[in-house]
Amino acid sequence: MQKNETTQNNVVGWIDKRFPLTKMWNEHLAEYYAPKNFNFFYYFGSLALLVLVNQIVSGIWLAMFYKPDTALAFASVEGIMRDVPFGYLIRYMHSTGASAFFVVVYLHMFRALIYGSYKKPRELVWIFGMLIFLCLMAEAFMGYLLPWGQMSYWGANVIISLFSAIPFLGEFVVQFIQGDYYISDATLNRFFSLHVILLPLVLVMLVAAHIIALHEVGSNNPDGVEIKANKDENGIPRDGIPFHPYYTVKDLFGVGVFLIIFCAIMFYAPEMGGYFLEHPNFEPANPVATPDHIAPVWYFGSFYSILRAATFGLDWVFFAGLGAALLLFGVYRLTQKQSIKATGVVLGLAVLMFIAAATGVEVSAKQLGVILMFGAIILLFVLPWLDTEPTKSIRYRGPIFKVTTALFVIGFLLLTWLGGKEATGPALLTAQILTLYYFVYLLVILPILPKIDRCKPVPERVTK
């Protein structure tokens, strides 16, 4: 036993002289002190890493048998399902893993929202996380076309056509993305290349940056208390415990529960009633036969609902009215002697609105929908600067924040559900109301909450 330990130490020592193995282990696991009051919501970071590994491994295996050719793609997927040993299992691991990835990521983002994990000093951690989310959406979209089924083809057609709303350059951008004048073999090949090579590399690098940035500033906790502010004589946080072995063991329990649910879905309900694998996607793509209802995969539903909520355009009257409102707001800020920089931005936007009105700029309903959809994502990037309340955790924030945030989350879930429904009648009206609230919450409610909401005192040390 003693000899084995000596050999192991010699091997580790030899590696340490050439690569910082022990240093990395200590900095990110053994000597990385995390708050001792992590709860259920802190499982999802490690679960996201688990699903990422599942997607990469299963994706590599699928790529061995998949043929990125419009004449062979659908048949190759069917061949994987029917002829490749355990091919059906690998395909379901990948398709179920795609939805599981978004479930885990959305819950991870929800935890950040309620506990203020995007606030100072973790703004960069949040930005890296949002870049991961954006890259994940692109990765999922590229992969969605690969089975070359009916919904894959027509769903990609709808999404790519959105870029035609870009003024002057729209048609060029669409042709550049497609590699052709329509979705064809060139499109399939470039999507396959991006899906299996470039985007996974970017995703892995962003995940590494996300973790490094997190470990540099330390993890947040349900109380929103900075444990680094209270250390003992050895420089160890009094309310912290080593990530390994305490949280590695805890995460293993979470992994076990997750795998039970994941395997139950994968073996017994891989299609999940058409939410994970749509029924039209079991038919080969037919460019001359449009499905009765084109809907995105469920995890794009919320942003697709926001896109479709725009049923009207904007003309000079809107820009003139918005310019006047911004001008009045800017003048008010000047009289109150508020931040000069922020006031300058407001007045600058007012000038731009007046210029747009004077030159007769018009925005079509399609262009407005695209602006709203991408704006909904971009606003999440600047969330740390929209929510200026210093209190982080929902435990100590005021009742207005709790109610409005609950409505925001419920609205997002409803938008996700409505994304799979036809945009007519009550469904369309509901989506428009929820879209309006989405932007009001981020642009109006969060910035003014510090002035109207009453937060509870935050304890100096973490609680249970």
Feature table: binding site:
94, 108, 195, 210, 215
- Rounded CA-CA distance 44/61 in Å is 25
Residue 82 structure tokens: 């029917």
- Rounded CA-CA distance 360/70 in Å is 44
Phi-psi label, residue 180: left if phi above 0, alpha if psi -120 to 50, beta otherwise: beta
Handedness of CA 402, 403, 405, 406 (dihedral sign): positive
Handedness of CA 427, 430, 432, 437 (dihedral sign): negative
Residue ranges for the binding site for heme b? Answer: 94, 108, 195, 210
Integer CA distances (angstroms), 129 to 39, 93, 105, 372, 377, in order = 20, 24, 9, 21, 12
Helices and strands counted in the chain (H then E): 19, 2
Who's near 365: CB < 8 A, 6+ residues apart? 310, 311, 312, 313
| DSSP string computed for 262-287 | HHHHHHH-TTGGGTSS-GGGGSB--T
Residue for token pair 């959105």: 162
- Rounded CA-CA distance 449/415 in Å is 24
Residue ranges for the binding site for a ubiquinone? Answer: 215
**Beta strand extents in 179-316 (DSSP E only):** 240-242
